[in-house]
Structure 1
Amino acid sequence: MGLTDELRARVYDIWRAILTHPFVVELFRGTLPLEKFRFYVIQDYNYLITLTKCQALIASKFDDPALMREVLELALADVSTELENYNKLLSRLGLSLEYVVKVRPSPTNTAYMNYLLSTCSLGSAWEGLVAILPCYWTYLEIAQSHVDDLRGNPMDVYREWAMVYLSSEYRGIVERLRRIIDEHGDYLGRDFDKLLSIFRQASVYEYMFWDMAYRQEGWPI
């Protein structure tokens, strides 16, 4: 079992809650109200911009140019898949990019983005990679777990959004990120408890993000 497998096994409870969250289930079945999906897309677009910044921070911490390049290539691949897909979806949802980037992130989204930024800024490059891994990996597992529901999904926009996470390109991104971490598992295992704490917290934020979108969370004042 590699390091990422071990981390995943230790947060089974959280990932099970993610896979069965009403937002996820309804999205893949096509019963999710469109206004909830619109809210999610706006929040997630802003989150993905922060994620890209985090990857740049992680890359800057490596002295090994090969590892630096790998992380930057992952960032570019993500921009070319997720963000590009969102750019296509915005007009279909009646949204403009100018509007989306001006929307105030929700409390949960703000907390998650700040957690990633602080971890990637103040922690090691490896801590940063472990912090962003749940975001990438849970989306792959969600898509794979609900693919049967997707086949009967009557909402074109939901199917098109989900197909990105079932693509070989996206699966390659996740596998590449896991490989980078696993190849240094013997070295990183010395700090396993700290890495597990980071991985668990990021996984909790992934759950909270879906829940935030389902509730269309706003600021109290």
Structure 2
Amino acid sequence: MGVSEVLRDRAWGVWGRILEHPFVVELYEGRLPVDKFRYYLLQDYFYLVNFAKALSLAAARAPSVGLMKLALGLAYGTVTGEMANYEGLLREVGLSVEAAASTEPNEVNRAYMSFLLAACALEGFYECMAAVLPCFWTYLDIAERHRERLRGNKVDVYVRWASTYLSEEYRRLVESLKSALDKGGRGADELWPYFKAAVEYELAFWDAAYRGTS
């Protein structure tokens, strides 16, 4: 078992709550009130901007050219691919990019981003990878857990949002991150504080999105 799997097993108490969070269950079933989804999109736009910055900082600390390319590729994909997709989703639910860019992040969002930016600026490359992996990986696990629920979903925008995380391309992305962490030679105990904090922030982010508040 690689260190990434060890970390997920250790975090399973919180990880499992993420997978069954009412926000994601209702979204995959098509029952989530659209106002909650709008709130999530506005907050997540801020998250993505700063996530790309964190990945760029990680690239500067990469111990090899290959790992630098991995981090830069993730940063570029976030800025060009995922954010472009979000801009389309925003328009579809009656929001604008300008509204998203001017939205004040809630307290959870701001704290999560401060944690990621600090980890990637001040710690080593693998600590940063341990901090960013839960975001990527939980979205994959959520999609796989609720794949069957999505089949009966009648809300097109929810289906399009969720389908991103069911693609083979997304699975390969997650596997590349896990592989980088597994081959880094760092032990689970060293990486656990960063992985644990990120998993807890992921749960808090969903909680805040569901409440529509910090």
Q: Identity, % of aligned pairs?
A: 46
1:69-104 Cα distance to aligned partner (Å, 9 max, x none)? 121112223334422221211111111111111110
Q: Which residue of 1 aligns with 2:209?
A: 213
Query: Residue 116 in 1 paired to residue 116 in 2?
Result: yes
Which secondary structure state, in structure 2, belongs to the residue aligned with residue 105 of structure 1?
Answer: coil
- Aligned CA RMSD, in angstroms, stands at 1.1
Counterpart amino acid of 1:77? G
Q: Give the aligned residue type for 2:190.
A: K
Please tell me the residue identity of whatever aligns with 1:17: R
Correspondence for 2:150 = 150
- Counting only pairs closer than 5 Å after superposition, residues 10-89 of structure 1 correspond to structure 2 as 10-89=10-89
Q: 1:150 corresponds to which letter in structure 2? A: L
Q: Say if 2:63 and 2:125, in contact at 8 Å, map to a contact too.
A: no
Contact 1:127–1:198, Cα closer than 8 Å, also in 2 = yes
State the alpha-carbon separation in 2 of the partners of residues 21 and 63 from structure 1. 37
User: What is the TM-score normalised by the length of structure 1?
Assistant: 0.93
Aligned partners of 1:81 and 1:170 also within 8 Å: no
Q: Which deviates the most, 57-66 or 128-137?
A: 57-66
Amino acid at match of 2:193: S
**Which runs of no fewer than 5 residues in structure 1 stay unpaired?**
none
Superposed CA deviations along residues 80-130 of structure 1, whole A, max 9, x for unmatched, are 442222121111111111111111000111111111111111111110011
Would you say 1:100 and 2:96 are equivalent positions?
no
The 2-side partners of 1:169 and 1:13 are apart by: 28
What is the rounded CA distance, in whole Å, between the counterparts of 2:99 and 2:51 in structure 1?
A: 20
Structure 2, gaps ≥5 residues long: none
Superimposed CA distance per residue, residues 25-48 of structure 1 (whole angstroms, 9 cap, x where no aligned partner): 101011110000000001011101
Q: TM-score, normalised by structure 2?
A: 0.96
The aligned residue for residue 132 of structure 2 is: 132
| 3-state secondary structure, aligned to 2:153 | coil
- For the 8 Å contact 1:29–1:149, the answer to whether it is kept is yes
Number of positions where the alignment pairs a residue of Structure 1 with one of Structure 2? 214
- Between 1:65-74 and 1:111-120, the stretch displaced more is 65-74
Deviations 1:156-189 (A, max 9, x none): 11001000000111111111111111122xx202
